[in-house]
């Protein structure tokens, strides 16, 4: 997937000022991320690639009537990082939108990571709102009902849930999420319910919410709780695939 031309003359200087940080460099794994994300798409969200057409077994009449349609339209990536997932989605013909943290904070990935991530979104022309997904959940998503085909979150749900975790995060939260434990109480339950009610409202029928989490310390307990919370409160949302631990694929069923 091609890196686009620098969007302005001072872009490279801005990039070098933050991307030379060893932590940022360790996260800049573009080719590996593209491979990993495409493998995830193949295994868990093949819908993103559009319908498979068995063209060799079609009659002439079927070929004449063939329409290439997308069942899923809008893809929203939660916690875009360097935007590879949305680049892949765009290459598959999807409309794309990202949501990321408003600003780096002490539990985030640092100022340089945040700046580099924004610069990459600018260069690759990826629309990202820096509102914080936790704020979307609290305020209601700024998204119309029945409009989103796929929500995707890789390595970001643990950030979004961190105010409901106890323990001291390390320097590198993405790797140190396992130092934190999710707290099961009324506040965290209400937050997760609000998240799923907004997901349900905004997804189209057969729309998908695909999650790949960094594990917290009590991840197994969290995963059981998370799956049961959806099963008990959202009869219209099915869990269709999981590794029973960090990967969850939810699908909104229609009437």
Strands 148-154 and 165-166: unpaired
Q: Does 156 bind ligand SAM (CB under 6 A)?
A: yes
Other C-beta atoms lying within 10 Å of the C-beta of residue 5: 7
Q: Rounded distance, CA 165 to CA 143, Å?
A: 27
Q: Residue 255 Cβ, how far from ligand SAM at the closest point, in Å?
A: 32
- Structure-token pair, residue 174: 């993405």
Q: Does 99 bind ligand SAM (CB under 6 A)?
A: yes
Write down the residue that tokens 């995830």 correspond to. 40
Q: Does 188 bind ligand SAM (CB under 6 A)?
A: no
Relative orientation angle of helices 219-233 and 186-202, to the nearest 10 degrees: 60
Closest residue by Cα to residue 116 from 29, 40, 189, 17: 17
Q: Does 110 bind ligand SAM (CB under 6 A)?
A: no
Residues in region 115-144 near ligand SAM by CB under 6 A = 117, 132-134
How many chain residues bind ligand SAM (CB under 6 A)?
A: 21
Q: Contacting ligand SAM (CB under 6 A), which of 18, 19, 24, 33?
A: 33
Please say which residue, 45 or 174, places its beta carbon nearer to ligand SAM.
174
Other C-beta atoms lying within 10 Å of the C-beta of residue 13: 8
Q: Contacting ligand SAM (CB under 6 A), which of 45, 76, 88, 109?
A: 109
Which residues lie near ligand SAM (CB under 6 A)? 33, 78-81, 99-101, 108-109, 114, 117, 132-134, 154-156, 159-160, 174
């Amino acid at each position: 997937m091609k890196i686009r031309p620098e969007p302005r003359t001072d872009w490279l200087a801005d990039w070098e000022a933050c991307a030379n940080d060893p932590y940022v460099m360790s996260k800049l794994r573009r080719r590996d991320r593209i491979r990993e994300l495409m493998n995830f798409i193949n295994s868990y969200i093949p819908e993103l690639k559009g319908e498979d057409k068995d063209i060799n077994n079609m009659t002439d009449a079927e070929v004449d009537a063939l329409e290439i349609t997308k069942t899923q339209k809008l893809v929203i990536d939660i916690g875009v990082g360097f935007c590879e997932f949305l680049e892949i989605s765009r290459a598959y013909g999807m409309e794309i939108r990202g949501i990321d943290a408003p600003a780096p904070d002490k539990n985030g990935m640092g100022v340089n990571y945040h700046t580099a991530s924004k610069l990459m979104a600018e260069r690759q022309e990826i629309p990202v709102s820096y509102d914080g997904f936790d704020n979307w959940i609290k305020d209601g998503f700024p998204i119309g009902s029945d409009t989103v085909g796929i929500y995707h979150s890789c390595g970001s749900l643990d950030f979004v849930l961190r105010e409901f975790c106890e323990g001291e995060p390390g320097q590198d939260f993405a790797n140190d999420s396992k130092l934190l434990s999710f707290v099961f109480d009324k506040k965290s339950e209400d937050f997760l319910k609000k998240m799923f009610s907004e997901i349900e409202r905004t997804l189209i029928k057969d729309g998908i919410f695909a999650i790949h989490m960094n594990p917290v310390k009590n991840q197994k307990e969290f995963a059981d709780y998370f799956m049961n919370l959806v099963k008990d409160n959202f009869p219209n949302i099915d869990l269709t695939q999981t590794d029973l631990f960090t990967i969850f694929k939810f699908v909104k069923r229609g009437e």
